[in-house]
Chains A and B, each alone.
Chain A
């Protein structure tokens, strides 16, 4: 992830617009680059895409992928959907929540870890599944997940 900066942010927004792409794509570019949409990017987004502040904020709020605060340095996204439930995703989620003291959607105070739920990663035949910093994980159990977390050196 790149640290947020005005210049890159503006460039990303302008490039998206020049390519004839829409607001959702500009938000995607910002989130892929910085991990979130900074408040200072809202005004340029409004201007470039001729949208009100409420519209821009509404679009950001609608999508699970878009956020307005920086995520933790590491992001663990655990699948919560049915095929993973069938092989213990609920228990695994309870385990990691208890271990980290976070509930889904929260970031630790030191900014090291964000825990999120996700609804299916397409790894359903080999659940429970997760994404850890965008790397896919499957056939998880408590031990494997603990080992992966330990490797992050939170």
Chain B
């Protein structure tokens, strides 16, 4: 029997030498005259174990973690093709606690097969949601999304169904569905993992969104920092078209939906939906005034639905299993699951998809396993560069939109970055201002100038914190988008929770 070996080909695994591993395995097998079939997959999301390779056995897939090409001779000696034990064995993949203790539906197939293998996608339940949608008119599709309680995963947590209904109600022969794949938040990579690992799920979600809003054209706005995702998406779009799941007359339904891919230019603010539209139209990414909402006047002035990658990837299962099923996951108005992303100084960094409601501490302890450095945790930043820095005494907060809003914080796109006790929180606050100064689109004075002044003040040996506070107030009140109005979140949370770091002290020069 031909042994089957699964080796990830996502951007992280490639960065850690997965291609060299694949090559070494293929060459050794050939030299030993052993038939093997190497399948390049997406990532399971256990980033701490990448490259994580798997072998198919009668008992299930057996995993080996952190494999480099130097491990390959030893793996063959240990008869890994039959699932033999090796010092890097992780046992059966499905029994790895990190994966087993998650409750995945969005990421359930990520890492299982060749991401562009449309038959494998279908064999694992793919297109079940779209099949249901094909039998429905737009209104019932949107109703299902409403019952699901799905909220936008791009950062703001806005109820998806409200937007969908607004776009459906906007009469226009030309409408758009725009997928926000700009994933600019530092410490986040869930969009990347799903686009590189299960791209048909995104395509399926977008087609359903198109049916629900009567939009015929979709655009994916992909950040340029994700070259592998670009290649995978291109291929997947072509295959979906060839298989009749995309294009004109989808599966004989008479309905049409097309998707094109646009690569961004390396600007964080272009993740903001109206700046993103400007960018698509060929302009500088300057934030537009709202109203009009993009749902009425979006891309090229046409009604436009804008959703994050993960929001759209939740949709197929909502249609297939029903909105009520989705609403039964999570707590309160935070329904469904959230793919959290653990990073920074953490032992077991990676993607953790769980229903809303788990405590931050459980996420950090049970999944993260403490710091990689072994030092105590000083703070975590949740929700990207505009997210709050929280001290350990707040770690019992449940991971829900409501609980974090009550703290003046947010979950954002689900990024959780761990900092150890050596972190200088004043340097982190200063960086928040510097990042804002670097990325500001320049439309609002408080954001454009305030960020520069804020960074200057915090660079002084004895910073005038009252002045920083004033600046933050002005930025919160006088900014047209969250870049300016939420940069104060990391700054103020750092000052509030770590006052000692802001005492007068000689500062190093900025680089």
Which chain A residues have a beta carbon within 8 Å of chain B's beta carbons?
22-25, 27-28, 49, 58-59, 62-66, 81-87, 90, 93-94, 97, 103-104, 118-127, 129, 131, 134-139
Contacts and interface: CB of A to CB of B under 8 A. Distances in A.
Nearest to B435: A119
A86 B189 contact: no
Contacts of A131: 225
A24 B283 contact: yes
Contacts of B281: 22
By Cβ-Cβ distance, the 10 closest A-B pairs, closest first, are A125-B349, A22-B282, A63-B265, A81-B186, A86-B344, A124-B343, A23-B282, A64-B266, A125-B47, A136-B15
A125 to B, nearest CB: 3
Given A82-B428, A86-B344, A125-B342, A120 B16 contact: no
A129 B14 CA distance: 12
Nearest to B45: A125
A27 B381 contact: no
B227 interface: yes
A124 B11 contact: no
Number of chain B interface residues as a range:
35 or more
A81 B419 CA distance: 13
Contacts of A87: 344-345, 372-373
Given A22-B280, A81-B385, A129 B15 contact: yes
B42 to A, nearest CB: 13
A94 to B, nearest CB: 7
A124 B187 contact: yes
Contacts of B283: 23-24, 59
B511 A94 contact: yes
A28 B265 contact: yes
A25 B350 CA distance: 33
B187 A120 contact: yes
A25 B224 contact: no
A121 B282 contact: no
B342 A118 contact: no
Nearest to A124: B343
Given A120-B187, A122-B12, 13 more contacts: A24-B283, A65-B264, A82-B431, A83-B344, A86-B423, A87-B372, A87-B373, A93-B511, A121-B225, A122-B183, A124-B344, A124-B349, A126-B15
